[in-house]
């Protein structure tokens, strides 16, 4: 592929410049890591800005309204002014809260949300740490996000928060199992947990074809993991105000919101990498001079649009139905998927293809 | 290998520092003191009654239990999936037995109503 | 990367682990203790990474910080108690406890003295997961299957106990 990758060029140029200046290898590595992280952070923040607007516009489209349309042409500056407003809002910590738990929860929600971006291949050669345990690292780090919800819910000392936090945790742990199991099929097909290897294995056939069932399970469980769409029980506005976020205000609340959208991008990026071929171009369109990271972002946004579509189409699911569906439908289905994938691979090997 | 984890370490530090910076910037521009009643616990405008940190129902615990069992299963499942292609049919049957044993437990939990939300 | 960075990282993780573990014992609030316990688990995961056992570190995060933490938290929520702020108090068993802990520590220390702490000959294997899987499914099949039985038995036993709690109410 002769596509020129701007970011890789930039990184190489920076590395060469540092070597030219005479920096030691340690310093170079640290600088490169920091630049990679800052790049990921900028990517997350930029996406959050776009996504909040996109979500509101999409919601407006589905409900036949205008959506935000005051600031800038068609309201494109809405989220920028919103974030400025949030920055200047009072930071209220109610008297009754457990101060440490309450405060740390807002910081803690952010850590897994950023850390998962370490293993996401944004484009050819654009991965911060191509770990050997790639996808398992994602699973492990993402699983700690539940803790922040638990701490926020418990620390607020508010009945709505506590109920919301507990529901949120119960829901997230229930749907984590099918989510994790659905990714096993892809690992079986690739024979590696390395993200670069998974992307490389999909140059010909995207894994959505042999693993369609897994993709479906991942897609549904993803909604529940993100507390979005039909599964937004934890913050069911009509029942428990705003769930675990009830007592948070100003920038602390904004951190939760930011982490939510960062997680949306992360889940969609993983879906893209695992099932939609990662940064590989659409088969047959590889001749186009489009850089790999543009392909990646296009696919991620396609996934995000699917998530938004379901969110604004389906009504909220009742909690007993939600748990029932997670445990008694998704987990058996994902187990069957692993079994079928295994048998399929064995048949494939026997046939000698 | 540690090299790659140094990158993650750098990320961890930035992930910890970034929210603190954001809150610090906010603390410069935001108003300092809010009205007295804003510091009350929110309960739709009413005064909050009774304890918040009460005893929860056992359902949550049951789900957490089955969750832990399956979470440990994933730990075995992933290495198996990595080596699946090269390990041959025997490994496949071993894993099948492993999952089958766990499914018995799952079936029992199902039958006993541990997965029932009520 | 030079060793200095990793040495610093080792001391940071060790300090986090030890201080968090102390906090578990000394904090009066049971929920704070549970949260600090999770922090101690994460610190141990960091040390695993420094030992080049990345898969084990991820397992530590997934199972302990992700799953056992939730179990502990729900367990705390489940218990009947008075004021949560005073739920993890010291009682009169302090001195016997200290005695027992000293005994356990003495045993550990004796074992520590016998271990050869020399540096490893080579760096850890790159593909530790693959080696683990191969060993698990060939040489250690029986412990592997026993793990499944253990998990199932633990799940069954806990469900039986939890049902008792439910019925007794």
The minimum CA-CA distance between B15 and chain A, rounded to whole Å, is 5
Distances (CA, A) of B55 to A163, A168, C41, C81: 12, 17, 26, 8
Between A250-275 and A25-62, two packed helices, what is the crossing angle to 10 degrees? 100
Nearest to A44 by CA among B22, B2, C65: B22
Give the mean pLDDT of chain C: 81
Binning pLDDT at 50, 70 and 90, where does residue C165 land? Answer: low
Contact yes or no for B2 and C78 at CB 8 A:
no
| Residues in chain A, total | 353
CA-to-CA distance for A142 and A123, rounded, in angstroms? Answer: 22
- Those residues of chain A whose CB sits closer than 8 Å to some CB in chain C are 26, 29, 98, 100-101, 131-133, 136-137, 139-141, 143-144, 146-147, 150-151, 154, 166, 169, 173, 176, 193
Binning pLDDT at 50, 70 and 90, where does residue A62 land? Answer: confident
Helical spans, DSSP H, in chain A: 6-21, 25-62, 78-87, 99-108, 110-115, 134-143, 145-155, 159-190, 195-200, 212-225, 237-240, 250-275, 292-313, 319-325, 331-351
Specify the pLDDT at position C146.
Answer: 86
**Interval A322-331 mean pLDDT:** 85
| Phi, psi of B54, deg, nearest 5 | -100, 180
Q: Are C10 and C50 in contact (CB under 8 A)?
A: yes
Question: Of A83, A86, A90, which to mutate for an interface test with B (greatest number of B Cβ within 10 Å)?
Answer: A90
C126 touches chain A (CB under 8 A): yes
Contact yes or no for A100 and C73 at CB 8 A:
no
Locate A266 and state its tokens. Answer: 């992360």
Contact yes or no for C78 and B60 at CB 8 A:
yes
Lowest mean pLDDT among A3-12, A214-223, B54-63, C37-46: A3-12
**Interval A230-250 mean pLDDT:** 73
Specify the pLDDT at position A236.
Answer: 66
Contact yes or no for C78 and B55 at CB 8 A:
yes
Specify the pLDDT at position A2.
Answer: 45
Specify the pLDDT at position B10.
Answer: 82
CB-CB neighbors (< 8 A) of A137 in chain C? 54, 58
Contact yes or no for A111 and B7 at CB 8 A:
no
Considering only alpha carbons, which residue of chain B is nearest residue C167? B58
Strongest mean pLDDT among A24-28, A116-120, B49-53, C163-167? A116-120
Given a cut of 60, whether residue A1 has pLDDT beyond it is: no
Binning pLDDT at 50, 70 and 90, where does residue A117 land? Answer: confident
Given a cut of 60, whether residue A3 has pLDDT beyond it is: no
Binning pLDDT at 50, 70 and 90, where does residue C88 land? Answer: low
Q: pLDDT tens, A169-181? A: 888 888 888 999 9
**Interval B71-90 mean pLDDT:** 83
Domains of chain B: 2-111 (1.20.58.1610)
Considering only alpha carbons, which residue of chain C is nearest residue B75? C59
Lowest mean pLDDT among A79-88, A277-286, B104-113, C113-122: C113-122
Q: Which residues contact A50 (CB under 8 A, 6 or more apart)?
A: A79
Binning pLDDT at 50, 70 and 90, where does residue C2 land? Answer: low
Give the mean pLDDT of chain A: 82
Given a cut of 70, whether residue A140 has pLDDT beyond it is: yes
Specify the pLDDT at position C14.
Answer: 92
CB-CB neighbors (< 8 A) of B67 in chain A? 173-174, 176-177
**Tokens 């654009």 sit at which residue?**
A126
Q: How many residue pairs from chains A and B have C-beta atoms closer than 8 A?
A: 201
Q: pLDDT tens, C9-64? A: 889 999 999 999 888 888 877 888 888 888 899 899 988 888 888 888 888 898 88
- Pairwise pLDDT comparison (A128 vs A259), residue with the higher score: A259
Q: How many other C-beta atoms are found inside a 10 Å radius of the C-beta of residue A64?
A: 6
| Phi, psi of A123, deg, nearest 5 | -170, -175
**Interval C148-167 mean pLDDT:** 79
């Amino acid at each position: 592929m002769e596509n020129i990758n701007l970011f890789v060029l930039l990184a190489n140029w920076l590395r060469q410049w540092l070597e030219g200046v005479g920096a030691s290898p340690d310093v170079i590595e640290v600088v490169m890591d920091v630049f990679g992280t800052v790049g990921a952070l900028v990517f997350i923040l930029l996406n959050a800005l776009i996504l909040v607007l996109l979500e509101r516009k999409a919601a407006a489209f589905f409900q036949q309204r205008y959506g935000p349309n005051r600031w800038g042409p068609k309201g494109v500056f809405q989220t920028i002014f919103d974030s400025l407003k949030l920055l200047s809002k009072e930071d209220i910590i109610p008297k009754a809260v457990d101060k440490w738990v309450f405060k740390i929860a807002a910081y803690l929600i952010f850590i897994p949300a950023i850390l998962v971006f370490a293993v996401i291949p944004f484009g050819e050669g654009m991965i911060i740490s191509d770990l050997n345990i790639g996808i398992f690292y994602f699973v492990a780090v993402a699983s700690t996000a539940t803790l922040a919800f638990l701490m926020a819910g418990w620390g607020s000392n508010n009945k709505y928060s506590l109920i919301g936090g507990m529901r949120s945790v119960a829901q997230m742990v229930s749907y984590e199992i099918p989510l994790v199991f659905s990714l096993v099929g892809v690992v079986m097909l690739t024979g590696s947990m390395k993200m670069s290897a998974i992307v490389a294995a999909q140059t010909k056939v995207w894994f959505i074809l042999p693993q369609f069932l897994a993709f479906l399970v991942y897609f549904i469980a993803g909604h529940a993991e993100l507390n979005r769409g039909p599964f937004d029980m934890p913050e069911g506005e009509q029942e428990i105000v705003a769930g675990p976020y009830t007592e948070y205000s100003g920038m602390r609340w904004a951190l939760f919101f930011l982490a939510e959208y960062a997680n949306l991008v992360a889940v969609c990026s993983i879906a893209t990498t695992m099932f939609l071929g990662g940064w590989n171009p659409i088969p047959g369109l590889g001749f186009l001079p489009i850089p790999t990271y543009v392909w990646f972002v296009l696919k991620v946004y396609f996934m995000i649009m699917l998530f938004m579509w379901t969110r604004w189409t389906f009504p909220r699911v009742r909690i007993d139905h939600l748990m029932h569906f997670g445990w008694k439908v998704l987990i058996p289905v994902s187990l069957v998927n692993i079994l079928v994938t295994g048998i399929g691979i064995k048949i494939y090997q026997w046939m000698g293809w | 290998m540690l090299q790659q984890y140094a990158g993650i370490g750098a990320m961890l530090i930035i992930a910890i520092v970034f929210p603190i910076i954001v809150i610090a910037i906010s603390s410069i521009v935001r108003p300092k003191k809010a009205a007295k009643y804003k510091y009350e616990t929110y309960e739709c405008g009413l005064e909050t009654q009774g304890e918040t940190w009460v005893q929860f129902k056992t359902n949550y615990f049951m789900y957490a239990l089955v969750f832990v069992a399956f979470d440990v299963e994933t730990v075995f499942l992933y290495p198996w999936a990595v080596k699946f292609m090269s390990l041959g049919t025997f490994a496949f049957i071993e894993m099948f037995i492993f999952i089958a044993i766990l499914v018995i437990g799952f079936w029992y939990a199902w039958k006993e109503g541990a997965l029932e939300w009520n | 990367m030079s060793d200095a960075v990793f040495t610093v990282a080792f001391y940071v993780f060790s300090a986090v682990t030890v201080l968090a573990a102390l906090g578990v014992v000394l904090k009066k609030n049971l929920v704070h203790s549970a949260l600090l316990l999770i922090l101690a688990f994460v610190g141990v995961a960091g040390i695993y990474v420094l030992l080049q056992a990345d898969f084990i570190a991820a397992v530590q995060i997934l199972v302990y910080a992700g799953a056992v933490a939730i179990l502990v938290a729900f367990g705390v929520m489940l218990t009947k108690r008075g004021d949560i702020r005073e739920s993890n108090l010291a009682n009169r068993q302090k001195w016997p406890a200290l005695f027992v802990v000293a005994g356990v520590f003495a045993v550990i220390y004796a074992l520590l003295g016998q271990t050869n702490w020399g540096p490893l000959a080579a760096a850890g294997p790159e593909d530790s997961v693959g080696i683990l899987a191969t060993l698990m499914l060939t040489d250690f099949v029986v412990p592997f299957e026993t793990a499944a039985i253990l998990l199932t038995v633990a799940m069954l036993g806990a469900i039986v106990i939890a049902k008792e709690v439910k019925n007794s109410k």
